[in-house]
Copies of this chain bind each other. A is one copy, B any other.
């Protein structure tokens, strides 16, 4: 018998991922375009192993993807996962504030009126 483990999507991990400024900046960079670990190391003022560790964490959270090419590893934002986590986050916090996504839409519309 084969037992399948279904990864339960939680938002807690994305909060953790984003709570560190290095990781947040890495995600922000990778959102623009894929980068090698080398490029990321050059960009930040921390050591290569430090970046390697953070990338490992982000990979474990499935927030980034890795593509190997020769001696390089290219990293990019895992948009579907990140986007999904984002939406869950919005819902989760929105519920605390009694604001659903649709409530937020109304909020945006009311802001638009103020600007007009």
Contacts and interface: CB of A to CB of B under 8 A. Distances in A.
Nearest to A109: B105
A19 B89 CA distance: 11
Nearest to A30: B96
Interface in A21-47: 21, 24, 27-28, 31
A102 B24 CA distance: 23
Nearest to A102: B108
Contacts of A93: 18, 82, 86, 89
Interface of A: 11-12, 15-16, 18-19, 21, 24, 27-28, 31, 77, 79, 82-83, 86, 89-90, 93-94, 96-97, 101-102, 104-105, 108-109, 111-112
